[in-house]
Amino acid sequence: MPLPRRAPGNPQHDRMVDLVQRREEAEIKLRSTFVGDEQEQLTAHCADLDAQIEALVAELFDLTADEVAILAAQLAKLAEGAS
């Protein structure tokens, strides 16, 4: 499967860059936060950003919902094996 080529100025590229930067910033804040409520909010925010990133990747590769489900199941199996 060829990798999609994206360049600055392309809306999908710019959206991905924005999402990844926001995710990195949220992770930094999460690591430095010790307040339970704020940790929960940041964890939920990170999960939301992850979902948006995953959806954009699926769009970039023209993946169907079935293909996304297969990949998610395979990743879950890999995660189980790593723990």
Query: CA dist 47 to 8, 59, 66, Å?
Result: 25, 18, 21
Let me know: does 28 contact 1? Beta carbons within 8 Å.
Answer: no
> Both tokens of residue 50?
């992850």
pTM, 2 dp = 0.80
Range ranked top by mean pLDDT from 3-7, 47-51, 56-60: 47-51
What's 63's DSSP letter? -
Residue 10 has pLDDT above 90, yes or no: no
The number of CA neighbours under 13 Å toward the Cβ of 81 is 6
CA distance 65 to 32: 36
CA distance 14 to 18: 6
User: How large is the average pLDDT for residues 56-63?
Assistant: 92
